[in-house]
Amino acid sequence: MLADLVESYIEMRRACGFAFKSEGSYLLSFAAFSDSVSVNHVRNETALAWAAQGKSVHQRARRLGHIRRFARYARAEDMRHEVPAAVFGSEKGPRPVPYILSEDAVQKIIHAALQHGSHPLRGKTYGTLFGLLACTGLRLSEAIRLLYEDITPDGLLIRNTKFRKSRVVPIHETCRSALNSYIEQRRSYAPFDNHVFVSVWRRPLGVKAVEMAFDFAAKEAGLPCTPERPRPTPQSLRHTFAVRALEKCPDGRDRITKHMVALSTYLGHGNVTHTYWYLEATPDLLRGIANCSESFFAGEML
């Protein structure tokens, strides 16, 4: 049965360090579909029929992509397996354009968050959280999972993050002071929970609650939000941190390379190409690259 081979493939991928949750579910569904029509090998027609059940072209491409990778694995041992062509196009859609905040906008968001709600801890919680995101570039999920013991003399210990890696994020003394001030106020409020950030219900913050608080702060700050431009979200603080860090990148090929690798490590990117994406996603950075390129080809830079 094809399901047995899928199970061994899933075990292999997980043994290599991949979570492989949604991918595994997709492949088990494909195996069940194949078994239902008495097909025990990957066949082009079966793969396309199953992938075509996706609601959108992008989803169909992803479903077929999972089968293609599995089929290559299976075909290495049994040439009867077929690797279907990527007839639905690329699995990866275009990344959304980031909303980059000005320094003034960041200050207004933090100030508005500090005024949020009638409970004295609510405003302090969101003001401190947004300030932390702005000055460290942490993912929201990483920040709300922080524990007391993760605040170390060397920085913030980010455990088992998006790509199942841990890292230490150095922080400035002003950031450490703000965190300590918040914790001093928050510690007695929820003494039996060691998460750094807690809600007024004495539980760790949830993503939805943070997004609602950020929407409130963004509106209070008067941030422009129209259909023609992206919507500001907590992730905008991370994007802004990355862009500002790139704007301060030193000149020189070797120095730029080292700067990009350091920033990629600091942000916890699984691949440095994810860091380079900010160059093409930000008009100001692209403009700077274009100007430098023109100067180079004009012989003004050696």
Q: What is the pLDDT of residues 176-228, one digit of tens each?
A: 999 999 999 999 898 999 999 999 888 999 999 999 999 999 999 998 877 66
**CB of 82 closer than 8 Å to CB of 219:** no
202 and 158 within one domain: yes
Residue 136 has pLDDT above 60, yes or no: yes
**Residue 295 tokens, joined:** 């100067």
250 and 149 within one domain: no
Task: Identify whether 85 is part of a domain.
Answer: no
User: 148 pLDDT band (50/70/90 cuts)?
Assistant: very high
Q: Which of 220, 250, 271 is the last residue of a domain?
A: 220
Per mean pLDDT, which of 105-109, 240-244, 280-284 is the most reliable? 105-109
Express each pLDDT in 106-129 by its tens digit: 999 999 999 887 888 999 999 999
3-class secondary-structure state, position 283: helix
Residue 236 has pLDDT above 70, yes or no: yes
User: 282 pLDDT band (50/70/90 cuts)?
Assistant: low
Angle between helices 120-136 and 207-220 (to 10 degrees): 90
199 and 273 within one domain: no
**CB of 41 closer than 8 Å to CB of 82:** yes
Over residues 172-176, mean pLDDT? 95
CA distance 44 to 37: 14
61 and 8 within one domain: yes
The number of residues making up the chain comes to: 302
CA distance 238 to 136: 8
Q: Compare 182 and 280 and report the one with higher pLDDT.
A: 182
User: 244 pLDDT band (50/70/90 cuts)?
Assistant: confident
Over residues 264-271, mean pLDDT? 80
**CB of 272 closer than 8 Å to CB of 261:** yes
110 and 158 within one domain: yes
**Residue 16 tokens, joined:** 């290599």
Position 230, amino acid: P
196 and 240 within one domain: no
Task: Identify whether 96 is part of a domain.
Answer: no
Residues 6+ apart with CB under 8 A from 168: 152, 154, 155, 156, 157, 158
Q: Compare 145 and 278 and report the one with higher pLDDT.
A: 145
CATH at 159: 1.10.443.10
User: 85 pLDDT band (50/70/90 cuts)?
Assistant: very high
Q: For the chain, give the mean pLDDT.
A: 87
Task: Identify whether 286 is part of a domain.
Answer: yes
pLDDT of residue 110: 96
Q: Which of 196, 220, 244 is the last residue of a domain?
A: 220
239 and 209 within one domain: no
194 and 121 within one domain: yes
Residues 6+ apart with CB under 8 A from 301: 292, 295
Give me the percent of the chain exceeding a pLDDT of 90.
61
238 and 215 within one domain: no
Task: Identify whether 92 is part of a domain.
Answer: no
Which of 173, 138, 140 lies closest to 157 in space, CA to CA?
138
pLDDT of residue 265: 81
- By DSSP bridging, strand 167-169 and strand 151-152 are unpaired
Residue 291 has pLDDT above 80, yes or no: no
238 and 187 within one domain: no
Q: Compare 17 and 52 and report the one with higher pLDDT.
A: 52
Over residues 9-16, mean pLDDT? 90
Residue 70 has pLDDT above 80, yes or no: yes
Task: Identify whether 207 is part of a domain.
Answer: yes
Task: Identify whether 302 is part of a domain.
Answer: no
Q: Compare 228 and 35 and report the one with higher pLDDT.
A: 35
Q: How many domains does the chain have?
A: 3
Task: Identify whether 282 is part of a domain.
Answer: yes
Q: What are residue 168's phi and psi, to 5 degrees? A: -110, 125
Over residues 33-46, mean pLDDT? 95
Residue 280 has pLDDT above 70, yes or no: no
pLDDT of residue 302: 45
214 and 110 within one domain: yes
CA distance 200 to 189: 9
11: Cα separation from own chain's centroid:
25
Task: Identify whether 200 is part of a domain.
Answer: yes
Question: What is the residue range of 15's domain?
Answer: 2-75
Which of 241, 214, 257, 217 lies closest to 98 in space, CA to CA?
241
Q: Which of 198, 220, 242 is the last residue of a domain?
A: 220
3-class secondary-structure state, position 277: helix
215 and 240 within one domain: no
Express each pLDDT in 93-110 by its tens digit: 777 778 889 999 999 999
Over residues 49-73, mean pLDDT? 95
CA distance 269 to 252: 23
